[in-house]
Amino acid sequence: MSTELHPDVVDTSIPPPATAPIDQSKDEETVTLTQLVVIIDRDASLKLPATIFDYELPILEAIYGEDQVYVDSEEDVEVAVMTANEAHEALRRKYAQHVNEVLAIYPRPATLGKATSLEVVDEGNRGKLSQSAVTDHKKEAAKTASKKTAKKTAARK
């Protein structure tokens, strides 16, 4: 008997490594997330239980339909601290066959960060992404674009 899942079924049996519950005996920083047990009602004879984090619920509802996903129970769990960037990447891996639904709900790590209060980090220096950094980046891009336009205009003359 094969243990492969049907292509439409999301493998939710193993949570992403970044969000796995931690060993409380270790002295690690933790964050509290709400973990849900949901039932995905595929049809009259197929009901799939899945353990997910609350921020994954809209993704499952987008994949299967809002009226096909029911929350059975919920509890707060302590997990190792992660960034919104890490959680976003874990979602993209976990729901790889349905990445369009993930990106429709959480197009960027910042969107997921707002929904979960997870920190968003700039991949360049792994520090907090400040608004001034975004503004400076936009100013630099505008300067570069205007220089290129000036060079093209000068080359035409």
- DSSP line for the chain: ---PPPTTS---SS--GGGSBP-TTS---EEEEEEEEEEEEEETTEEEEEEEEGGGHHHHHHHH-GGGEEEEEEEEEEEE---HHHHHHHHHHHTGGGHHHHHHH-SSHHHHHHHH-PPPB-TTTSSB--HHHHHHHHHHHHHHHHHHHHHHHHHH-
Residue 11: what pLDDT? Answer: 54
Q: What are the pLDDT digits (tens) for 88-123?
A: 999 999 999 999 999 999 999 999 999 988 899 875
CA distances 64 to 40, 67, 89, Å, are 8, 8, 21
Q: Two tokens at 44?
A: 């009259």
pLDDT of residue 42: 87
The pTM score is 0.62
Confidence class for position 17, pLDDT limits 50, 70, 90: very low
84, pLDDT greater than 50: yes
How far is 91 from 16, CA to CA, in rounded Å? Answer: 8
CA nearest to 79, candidates 122, 34, 121, 123? 34
C-alpha dihedral sign at 56, 88, 119, 134 = negative
Question: At 43, is the pLDDT very low, low, confident or very high (cuts 50, 70, 90)?
Answer: confident
Please state, rounded to an integer, the average pLDDT across all residues of the chain.
Answer: 76
- For residue 13, pLDDT over 60 is answered with no
Q: How far apart (Å, rounded) are the C-alpha atoms in residues 125 and 19?
A: 23
Token reading at 65:
């339909």
